[in-house]
Amino acid sequence: MEYSFNGLNVTSFESRRSQEIEKLIRYHKGNPRVAPSMRELPEAESPDISSFSKQLFDGNIDLLILMTGVGTRFLSNLVIDEFGRGRYLEALRNTNILARGPKPVAALRELNIKADITVPEPNTWRDILKTIEDENLDIEGKNVFVQEYGVSNKKFTDSLKSLGANVKTITIYKWALPEDINPLRDAIKSISKGKEDCLLFTSSQQVVNLLKIAAEDGLESSLRNGAKNALIASIGPTTTETLNDKGFSVDYEPNSPKMGNLVREMARSASSLLNKKRTALNNGVSTDNWKRVDMIWTKSVADRKEVTYNSEFMKACRLEKTDYTPIWIMRQAGRFLREYRELRSKVSFLDLCKNPSLSAEVTLMAVDRLGVDAAIIFSDILLILESLGIGLEFSKGDGPQIKKPVRNSSDIDSLKEFETESLEFVYDALKITRKALDPKIPLLGFAGAPFTVASYAIEGGGSKNYINTKKMMYKDPELWKTVMEILTDSTSKYLNAQIKAGADAIQIFDSWAGCLSPDDYSKYVLPYMKKLVNNIEHDLPIIIFGTGTNSLLELFSTTGANVVGLDWRVDIVDGWEKVGFDKAIQGNLDPATLFSTPKYVADEAKKIIDKVGNRPGHIFNLGHGVLPNTPVDNVLRLVDEVHEYSNKVR
């Protein structure tokens, strides 16, 4: 799969690997401008070396934190030159070493030394602190030495001190401007004139030095104006933080902080993201320090709706021919994305759901990152329970928990009447998202089906056998009827409000319906599903989805939904035959496939597309939600393979 900049002008500020990044940009059909912006100068007379060496040889260092590969090599060379290789290596082997990612690990490997602990990506100083916590390292009262990079990170050292550590820093090198700054000056002039399309930053100091030279040349203001019209890509969180602190918005950051990933993923997305940014600028959005929710695509609602109506996703829902198979992914804004995990580390799940701006930002983030053909609002199927007076909490590792399960008539009598306004934050999130979302990308609202929501409320959470739910169904059918009627009426109002707020299509998750026999589904669930769909007041696509529902697909097709989602346990053609070819289908790659290789992912996607052939009405999706820790590169490959291969098949 080849990604292309399509001839865009791409400026990189990389120094040490400038030739390598130039080749990468050119390989991906970009016009490269490489402007080295910094260099590392060893501190040959570093005052910290003597103190470090003495403590190391005396065995007084409890934890040595190596921050960079360059610094590790400089440090090793200085100590070896003065005290000898053998003595240094022996002392290192007797010292607990924590390496900030693969670069110091590689530098240690050159010495045949292995780090005791390696910090996982994205290798920020915050990840070091988390690793110390995860590894249960007790550093209180311990001597911790930190090999610093070009500048001192006071936030990091202060955080270590707050854990009780005796922190000593080792200054090994400093950052300086390159010996020849003319390429950097030329780049500043070109950016200032609006001639550069994409700016690639691979370290924080590049940002500092860029602004320093621009200010010296009296071009800082024009540089900032030119950057408003260009994509800004950052290699990782630390560089992104610096760019934000300096007043720049980052348009793209790869999931893995590697130079190759940065160039490749920018080649994949640059054209669409650049169009988005320049459209925003033309519509009066200030793009120097903006968020996704600030985007304005068009000021005409009628024009937007026409574009959305004719999108590939909406045409597939209507069984119309499409240029390619549209794809979106359940849980596409989830834990497998690093930026989502970073946000969740600061905000609880419920708080995120209830913050319209953050919910919208997360929804839009997935579209920008993955390039999918539909967005689905970030929310949860169980929020409706709070509106009914049922306590709800999400505990780490245990999922949703119902504080007081609904299991008898008195529990039901205590339920509050559903008030549509109680979920206003969901509607606000939909409004914000729909305004900021590309018109050709439909926005899905969603809700849990009455049975699935009822099962959570009755069981008190997830369940393997649904004993309490089925007990109520079989033993007290009148009570069951009351519960289902309450949820059906409430969900109807909820979905209609979502549509009014901007949802272009609706998905109904009947996640646990697969635990039912066809007879039980027909008797205890289907009447309410028909009523729910019938109560939706607008003519728009309605998708119904559940897992383990192969035996229920014929019944699903009678609910009135336009689209039926298939899980991965059923052959897609067999499933479509059961649903009926007068309905569109959605699915159905096994989510676990994404843990394989990119080639295997592509091959499995092709198999599904080949089975469908040219029959209109297929929306590609997984057979369930994307799983945590799924490699993002494999998800990107899936989206691109579905688009490219299905277009060839057409």
Residues 375 and 501 placed together within one structural domain of the fold: yes
Region 481-506: mean pLDDT is 98
What pLDDT sits at residue 295? Answer: 96
In whole angstroms, give the CA distance from residue 535 to residue 490: 11
CA distance 23 to 32: 8
Running DSSP on this structure, what letter comes out for residue 589?
A: B
Of 137, 154, 174, the residue that ends a domain is 174
As a whole number of Å, the CA-based R_g of the chain is 28
Domain match, 27 and 105 both: no
Give the CB-side neighbour count of residue 461, counting CA atoms within 13 A: 10
Other C-beta atoms lying within 10 Å of the C-beta of residue 637: 20
| pLDDT band, very low/low/confident/very high, at 10 (cuts 50, 70, 90) | very high
Kindly state whether residue 4 falls inside one of the protein's structural domains: no
Residue tagged active-site, from 16, 39, 278, 335: 335
Q: Are strands 392-395 and 399-402 parallel, antiparallel or unpaired?
A: antiparallel
What pLDDT is attached to residue 509? 97
The whole-number average pLDDT for the span 561-584 is: 97
| Same domain (yes/no): 428, 511 | yes
Residues 244 and 332 placed together within one structural domain of the fold: no
pLDDT value of residue 172: 87
Give the whole-angstrom CA distance, residue 137 versus residue 93. 18
Higher local confidence (pLDDT), 42 or 541: 541
Residue 296 lies in a domain: no
At CA 286, angle to CA 283 and CA 289, rounded to 5? 145
Half-sphere exposure of 174 (CA within 13 A, CB side): 6
Quote the tokens at residue 464.
């393997």
Helix and strand element counts for the chain (H, E):
29, 20
The pLDDT tens digits for 193-226 are: 999 999 999 999 999 999 999 999 999 999 999 9
Q: Which residue is catalytic, options 16, 39, 278, 344?
A: 344
Based on the fold, state whether residues 97 and 224 are members of the same structural domain: no
The packing angle between helices 477-501 and 424-436, to 10°, is 40
Q: Is the pLDDT of residue 393 over 60?
A: yes
Q: Which residue has the tokens 């470090």?
A: 52
Residue where a domain stops, chosen among 256, 290, 324: 290
Burial status of residue 57 (CB atoms within 10 A of its CB: 0-12, 13-18, 19 or more): middle
8 Å CB contact between 140 and 164: yes
Q: How far apart are CA 418 and CA 398, in angstroms?
A: 27
- Do residues 563 and 452 both lie within one domain? yes
First to last CA, the chain: 19
Residue 151, domain member (yes or no):
yes
Q: Are residues 202 and 150 in the same domain?
A: no
Whether 239 and 133 share a structural domain = no
- Are 76 and 130 in the same domain? yes
Q: Is 532's pLDDT higher than 90?
A: yes
3-state secondary structure 237-287: HHHHHHHHHCCCCCCECCCCCCHHHHHHHHHHHHHHHHHHHHHHHHCCCCC
Q: What CATH number is associated with residue 134? A: 3.40.50.10090
- For residue 161, is it within any domain? yes
Q: Would you call 596 helix, strand, or coil by DSSP? A: coil
- Separation CA 585–CA 442 (nearest Å): 17
Across residues 350-378, what is the average pLDDT? 97
Quick check: is 2 in a domain? no
* Tokens coding 588: 């159905």
Q: Given this model, what pLDDT does residue 299 score?
A: 85
Residue 212 burial (10 A CB sphere; 0-12, 13-18, 19+):
middle
CA distance 501 to 649: 37
Asked if residue 390 and residue 327 are part of one domain, the reply reads yes
Give the chain's domain count.
3
Of 139, 174, 209, which residue sits at a domain end? 174
What gap in Å lies between CA 49 and CA 338, rounded to an integer?
Answer: 37
Q: What is the pLDDT of residues 144-196, one digit of tens each?
A: 999 988 888 999 999 999 999 999 999 888 899 999 999 999 999 999 999 99
Out of 252, 456, 521, 524, the active site residue is: 456
pLDDT of residue 540: 96
Tell me how far apart the alpha carbons of residues 271 and 434 are, in angstroms, rounded to a whole number. 22
Q: What number is the average pLDDT over the span 296-308?
A: 92
- Asked if residue 398 has pLDDT above 70, the reply is no
- Residue tagged active-site, from 73, 331, 369, 434: 331
pLDDT digits (tens, 9 = 90+) for 23-75: 999 999 999 999 999 998 887 677 788 889 999 999 999 999 999 999 999 99
Cα–Cα dist 161/138, whole Å = 12
Q: Based on the number of CB atoms within 10 Å of its own CB, is 552 exposed (0-12), middle (13-18) or buried (19 or more)?
A: buried
Owning domain of residue 437: 301-649
Q: How far apart are CA 298 and CA 608, in angstroms?
A: 36
The two tokens of residue 568 are: 């991965």
| Burial class of residue 406, CB neighbours in 10 A (0-12, 13-18, 19+) | buried
Lowest average pLDDT, out of 75-79, 266-270, 501-505, 584-588, goes to 75-79
Is residue 456 part of the annotated active site? The answer reads yes
Query: Rounded to 5 degrees, what are φ and ψ at 626?
Result: -65, 140
Helix (H, G, I), strand (E, B) or coil at 576: helix
Domain shared by 555 and 608, yes or no: yes
Q: How far is Cα 563 from Cα 556, in angstroms, rounded to an integer? A: 9
User: Using one digit for the tens of pLDDT, what is the confidence trace for 99-144?
Assistant: 999 999 999 999 999 999 999 988 889 899 999 999 999 999 999 9
What is the CATH classification number for the domain harbouring 565? 3.20.20.210
Mean pLDDT of the chain: 95
Q: If we measure between CA atoms, which residue out of 470, 502, 254, 257 comes closest to residue 377? A: 502
What SS3 class is residue 340? helix
Q: Using 50, 70 and 90 to split pLDDT, how confident is the model at 507?
A: very high
The one-letter code for the residue type at 249 is S
Asked if the structure places residue 3 within a domain, the reply is: no
- pLDDT reported for residue 255: 86
Classify residue 629 as left (phi > 0), alpha (psi -120 to 50) or beta: left
Work out the pLDDT band at 397, boundaries 50, 70, 90.
low
- What the block records as the tokens of 104 is 């110091």
Residue 191 lies in a domain: yes
Q: What is the C-alpha separation between 495 and 488, in angstroms, rounded?
A: 11
The three-class DSSP label of residue 118 is strand
Rounded to whole angstroms, the Cα distance separating 225 from 196 reads: 12
User: Of 217, 288, 380, 489, which one is the catalytic site residue?
Assistant: 380
If residue 170 lies in a helix (H) or strand (E), which one and from where to where? strand 166-170
The per-residue pLDDT for 396 is 67
CA distances from 197 to 65, 523, 576 (A): 38, 60, 45
In-domain check, residue 27: yes
Predicted local confidence at residue 401, as pLDDT: 84
Same domain, 535 and 591: yes
- How many CB atoms are closer than 10 A to CB 611? 14
CA dist., res. 419 & res. 428, Å (int): 16
Q: Establish whether 109 is a catalytic residue.
A: no
